[in-house]
């Protein structure tokens, strides 16, 4: 009986320790969200709809919001097709020289300093063009996005039981049809998770845009070959100002950036139905 109570006591202590550590782990996230809401919401409510649609001179961050969505769209347009193909290749040929080199390179790119990506994009696009531009910023962000999508694509496809692959080949399907008609749809939940994480990553990036985007806050962007603003870049600029009004605007912009992430990530994530294998 005493041995049973001892085991039961250890089990309770283990569950209690895990619960406490879990709470400690997620506490910083909740603290960030609550702090941003408490400091940013009064600013947005005070300035009203102008804060979302107006220019910086009008007390708003409309051009920065538009620039953020332009950069996310362009970087996804550039990076997603390449990242998906790279992830599929790494899954299909894991033991080849190219496959092993690709996997190593992807791991390096995940940890690579993003500011150096900005310097690279500046040297190959911004300087030859002679100006900052949305395209240069999107190119830098696409490089940052690609390894996340590629790694998640590879790992998601590795989770699919090999029997699905064998059965597909047994039905006489070609390799391309097996990959794109069978395996990719089965792995779509993991792939889209990687896409969302990559998009969330680039939506909050600042360092690469310092060398590529330039910043445009007094008017809305009209061309991808011209400078463009972004919410994180605007926040970086505002917090360097000694003005309390600028700091208040930075809190409001931080809340907008948080809402952009939540509005993109949560609905799509919840709408994905888990594939039963």
Burial of 126 (0-12, 13-18, 19+ CB in 10 A): buried
Cα separation, 276 vs 255, in Å, equals 37
Cα separation, 154 vs 71, in Å, equals 25
**CB contact at 8 A, 256 and 231:** yes
What the block records as the tokens of 48 is 């009203």
What the block records as the tokens of 171 is 């039905």
Q: Please report the pLDDT score of residue 275 as a whole number.
A: 43
| Fold (CATH) for 62-230 | MetI-like fold (1.10.3720)
Produce one character per residue of 182-207: b if its CB has 16 or more CB atoms within 10 Å, e if not: bbbebbeebbbbbbbebbbbbbbbbb
What the block records as the tokens of 67 is 């620039």
Q: What is the pLDDT along the chain (277 residues), one digit of tens a residue?
A: 567 777 777 788 888 888 888 888 888 888 888 999 999 999 998 888 888 888 888 888 999 999 999 999 999 999 999 999 999 888 888 777 887 888 888 888 888 889 999 999 999 999 999 999 999 999 999 999 999 999 989 888 888 888 888 788 887 778 888 888 888 888 888 888 888 888 888 888 888 999 999 888 988 988 899 999 999 999 999 998 888 888 999 999 999 999 888 877 776 667 655 444 4
Burial of 46 (0-12, 13-18, 19+ CB in 10 A): exposed
Report the predicted TM-score, pTM, of the whole model to 2 decimal places.
Answer: 0.85
């Amino acid at each position: 009986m005493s041995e049973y109570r001892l085991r039961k006591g250890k089990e309770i202590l283990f569950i209690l320790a895990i619960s406490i550590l879990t709470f400690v782990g997620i506490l910083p996230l909740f603290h960030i969200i609550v702090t941003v809401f408490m400091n940013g919401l009064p600013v947005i409510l005070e300035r009203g709809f102008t804060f979302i649609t107006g220019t910086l001179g009008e007390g708003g961050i409309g051009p920065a919001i538009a620039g953020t969505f332009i950069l996310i769209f362009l970087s996804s347009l550039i990076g997603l097709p390449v990242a998906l193909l790279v992830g599929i290749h790494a899954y299909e040929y894991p033991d080849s020289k190219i496959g092993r080199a690709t996997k190593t390179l992807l791991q390096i790119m995940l940890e690579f300093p993003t500011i150096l990506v900005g310097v690279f994009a500046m040297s190959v696009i911004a300087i030859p063009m002679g100006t900052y531009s949305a395209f240069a910023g999107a190119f830098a962000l696409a490089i940052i996005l690609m390894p996340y999508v590629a790694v998640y694509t590879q790992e998601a496809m590795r989770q699919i039981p090999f029997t699905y692959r064998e059965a597909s080949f047994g039905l006489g399907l070609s390799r391309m049809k097996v990959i794109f008609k069978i395996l990719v749809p089965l792995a779509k939940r993991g792939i889209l998770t990687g896409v969302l994480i990559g998009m969330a990553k680039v939506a909050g990036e600042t360092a690469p845009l310092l060398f590529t985007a330039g910043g445009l806050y007094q008017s809305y962007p009209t061309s991808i070959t011209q400078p463009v603003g972004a919410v994180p870049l605007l926040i970086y600029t505002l917090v360097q100002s000694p003005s309390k009004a600028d700091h208040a605007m930075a809190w409001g912009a931080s809340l907008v950036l948080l809402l952009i992430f939540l509005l993109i990530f949560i609905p799509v994530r919840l709408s994905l139905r888990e594939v039963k294998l």
